Structure 1
């Protein structure tokens, strides 16, 4: 897959998984992505603890300041960990996607999953919201990058929730083709 020949601006709208929680920001996957795509401007609009409602509140200012060509939405984990209703998650993500597209940006949605202890019904409804949105908006849905990482304790911080520094290059390599493909669309 070859990178686009134009210089694009990519906004990462995420939570602690993209903010580099527990490590210096320059060691997180978003910084490593900048190193992989030096022709593009990568803006990290991620905040640890962010919910979809918080991302939605911050998005208009982020869109105005960065004027992105692509918005990568990596939100929902904190909604799930707090047990927020899946319909609320879907509503907020719908508004985020609509806002981004109304500003002329493409959107790449990243799937988020909740731990199995939330029960199969909630987990299924939560994950289905992402698939439904990808279909409704005809946008790409990147599979949850933490699926394989979370299963490997050597790639996780002590809290068992956040990836460690060793996991960051794996996340970058996981996300890179999805972001490149979204830019090429």
Structure 2
């Protein structure tokens, strides 16, 4: 009887120890899981404006944006999927491999080169539509950054082109930032010598203006 009692007590102690160990192990596994899932990926998919043309990498849009989002309290890694000179059609052609590893969010910024080259707005619209549709098929939330045609393209072209972005945002019910270069376009002190690409200060202003919209976008998904 004494031996049975001793065995029972020993078993009880072992069971309590095992339960405590299991709870502690589960707790640390949950912490590791949460930590691993905290950092989310926002892919900036665009042209030279997102690629950081003419700037040191440390001053590029994606680097400044990541810092701003993290300062706002979001654990976000911003990946640069910008290609200088890319059009909306070119973006569509490389989308699958550019987003091959998946993404938690995509900031879509394309169309500036379409307008500069005088590409038919209908072509730009169709390419952007297909990009958005492909991303939505992958369940990737999209924020569309709008672009505006330069005045020298004429009022008819300008009106047709500028309508693309708000209409697509409404059609696909996606987040929308009306004009990527808001407050920077045509301001000499905020652009490089080519008067097209923003300098460090110009990028900083773009990031400052865009960050609240991106914080809301990320927080809602």
TM-score under structure 2 length normalisation: 0.78
Which structure has the higher relative contact order (CA within 8 Å, separation 6+)? 1
1:98 matched to 2:113? The reply is no
Matches within 5 A, 1:80-91: 80-91=115-126
1:46 paired residue number = 82
1:29 paired residue number = 61
2:188 paired residue number = 153
- Provide the secondary structure at the position in 1 that maps to 2:183: helix
CA contact (8 A) 1:14 1:50 kept: yes
Structure with more helix by fraction: 2
CA shift for structure 1 position 6: 4.3
> What 5-or-longer segments of structure 1 have no aligned partner?
none
- Provide the secondary structure at the position in 2 that maps to 1:144: coil
1:19 matched to 2:51? The reply is yes
TM-score under structure 1 length normalisation: 0.92
Number of residues of Structure 1 aligned to a counterpart in Structure 2: 180
Report the structure number with the largest CA radius of gyration: 2
CA RMSD of aligned residues (A): 1.4
2:148 paired residue number = 113
1:8 matched to 2:40? The reply is yes
- Provide the secondary structure at the position in 1 that maps to 2:142: strand
CA contact (8 A) 1:15 1:48 kept: yes
Tell me, in whole angstroms, the C-alpha distance in 1 between the residues paired with 2:69 and 2:200. Answer: 20
Cα-to-partner distance string for 1:48-87 (whole Å, 9 max, x where unaligned): 101111111111112222x111111110000111111111
